[in-house]
């Protein structure tokens, strides 16, 4: 088996249907899944690096200059964390946290051939995606959301990511018109 183990967890749990209809959940999901190939981008280094491997921001604007998406990527030896803000309009937006974890350092992810009396050592590769929906600048709370072990509450995480993606000094100039 040459492929690392892939564990995919999607934490988007039953939001109430009337609230979703009012908020445009379909438009948010379309925005977060939209390719960014044809959108103009600006890149800059992050000023608050969490790892020696660094971090950066990518800001994508539509042809008319409106903010489309901001992506913050933090790199580490055994992880990559990508946080993506995609904007539907000035009051409705979505933030996706895409966390990749590796069991081995990034340069050591290929399976090792066993020596004599050794088992094959396969690395594991885990992806966890969590979506945070904001309607009128307020986080929509999923019903029956259960955090993963060691994970903070949905509301606390939504507030933390909103602050980072809307008010971080590195990119705040791009989010001025968004409802907080």
R_g (Cα) of the chain, nearest Å:
18
pLDDT band for position 142 (cuts 50, 70, 90): confident
pLDDT band for position 84 (cuts 50, 70, 90): very high
Mean pLDDT of the chain: 82
pLDDT band for position 78 (cuts 50, 70, 90): confident
For the chain, list the strands marked E by DSSP: 5-11, 40-45, 55-61, 67-75, 79-87, 92-102, 124-135, 138-139
Assess whether pLDDT exceeds 90 at residue 3: no
Q: Are 70 and 171 in contact (CB under 8 A)?
A: yes
List all residues 6 or more positions away from 28 whose beta carbon is below 8 Å from its beta carbon.
86, 88, 92, 93, 94, 133
Q: What is the pTM of this model?
A: 0.80
């Amino acid at each position: 088996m040459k492929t690392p183990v892939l564990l995919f967890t999607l934490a988007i749990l039953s939001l109430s249907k009337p609230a979703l209809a009012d908020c445009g959940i379909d438009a948010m999901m379309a925005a977060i899944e939209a390719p960014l190939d044809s959108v103009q981008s600006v890149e800059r280094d992050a000023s608050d690096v969490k790892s020696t491997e660094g971090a950066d921001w990518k800001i994508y604007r539509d042809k008319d200059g409106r903010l489309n998406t901001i992506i913050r990527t933090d790199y580490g030896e055994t992880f990559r964390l990508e946080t993506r803000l995609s904007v539907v309009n000035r009051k409705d937006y979505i933030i996706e946290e895409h966390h990749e974890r590796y069991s081995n350092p990034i340069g050591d992810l290929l399976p090792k051939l066993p020596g004599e009396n050794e088992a094959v050592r396969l690395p594991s590769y885990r992806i966890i995606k969590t979506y945070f929906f904001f309607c009128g600048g307020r986080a929509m709370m999923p019903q029956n959301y259960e955090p993963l072990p060691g994970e903070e509450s949905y509301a606390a995480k939504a507030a933390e990511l909103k602050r980072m993606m809307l008010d971080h000094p590195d990119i705040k100039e791009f989010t001025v018109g968004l409802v907080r």
